[in-house]
Structure 1
């Protein structure tokens, strides 16, 4: 499948393993995509000649990124880097909310990791309120073996928050490895799923080393064990989807980043077309 404008997936920031943000935007455009996921700093370190970076407090880098976004017609589909943790107040990250709003982020995502259920929910409500002040919707990302471990818990959590701008982010790896099924996904009430992330996994259950693999080694779509074609079909029509497929091993082996991401996009688009063949609507072009 040739690369062309109108790909139906965005590229998540951990997929490029710390690439400089403005260069990431240029690469995204070359791949035929118009959306990225972005955090204020990388979580998986850079490779080769790339330098560690942060957008926090770096006005020249922010301006360079804004210019790259404008020049390439790329938008930030998902603002990341927000985590609810014990001993931290999510309101202390208000500068990151302002940064993502300045960059034109379309939604913000958070992981709720405080083991105190009352505080976890209170902090999420503050997160959603701070985003609403900037006219931004939010998503909650669930993960196995965490305080919000699966889809049912995430849907209930968002409902309890009573935040009108909140929905759930469904990451394919976290979803299946927490015991989720496509029938369960298909039956989520309308409006409760706001974003999805696509990758494969080496097994469909939680295992030792799970979180390291989630951050650094996710198989390309079709190269693992997950039923991704049916996953795409079970998502709400038009749900935005990002490719989250980091591979430190591929980077260290010298695999060309553009070629790697092209392979991932082609595989994902192939799965999507299989779903279209049975009458499912495509997500909006990313």
Structure 2
């Protein structure tokens, strides 16, 4: 039986660990050929080997690296069908503690990285007959958190930019959809480390419906990525989807 993204070529940024790794694994399991990109190139190669894909070093803030990776994908595969702009960072600092350099770092990784990914992937995706871009924001962009102003600003920019890109692609008639996911708390190495559990094993997130205030598993985000990547979601573009177990919907937070 064919997978849900059988024969498609997918590129995932920040694919060496956490959410990106889960995206790579599920897309590959459902039939896609996955290009794993990350600054941690050795880890990216490990993931690529496990999913029978390719790996490239990519600092998403560097325009020339984006150009090189997209050119390599076109030369090797001749097409690109799925782009997951997942790479990110977070530094916990309030507005008085946050330096301009740290603010700019968040903007460079999240906003400029997503911008460059879309800018250079869209022409190849259009030549491929269309495809799906999935950008990664956060429910933090919808809520007030006093300790992460740079992160929330960057994720809010991704939400807005996604809508503009979606409308551009639709107006161009190039067959490309662009949507944004907004995860809540997900048990990843980054979340573990910033919550004071650095070095500990990641928590096992059980199956089934989770209680409120529970962390989600990377597969919860990967399942949403897969849905937006497949043709079954063809009527969705420019939408933002919280993946947060009801966090944003709850009136008392």
Same fold (TM over 0.5): no
**TM-score using structure 2 length:** 0.38
**TM-score using structure 1 length:** 0.35
Q: Which has the higher helix share?
A: 2
